[in-house]
């Protein structure tokens, strides 16, 4: 399975994904992410997926809220 690199931006309530590249090796994908990261509104993410559609599905998932451990006391 390849590694996909995407630039993500929030445009209002919608996350916009722009594919930057596809890499067979982790090292090459990681170097590309480091090269692309910098100041700005966009975020660069790497994902390991079966294909481009699966990568975009993984990046579009809404993560659950982080539990607040202060509520345990």
Question: Quick check: 43 pLDDT over 70?
Answer: yes
- Of all residues in the chain, the percent with pLDDT exceeding 70 is 90
**Domain spans of the chain, in order of start:** 3-60
**Mean pLDDT, rounded, for 9-25:** 90
Residues 6+ apart with CB under 8 A from 20: 5, 6, 7, 32, 36, 44
């Amino acid at each position: 399975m390849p590694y996909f690199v995407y630039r993500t931006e929030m445009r209002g309530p919608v996350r916009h994904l722009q594919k930057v590249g596809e890499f067979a090796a982790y090292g090459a994908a990681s170097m590309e992410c480091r090269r692309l990261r910098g100041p700005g509104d966009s975020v660069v993410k790497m994902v390991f997926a079966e294909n481009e559609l699966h990568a975009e599905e993984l990046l579009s998932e809404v993560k659950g809220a982080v539990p607040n451990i202060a509520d345990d006391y």
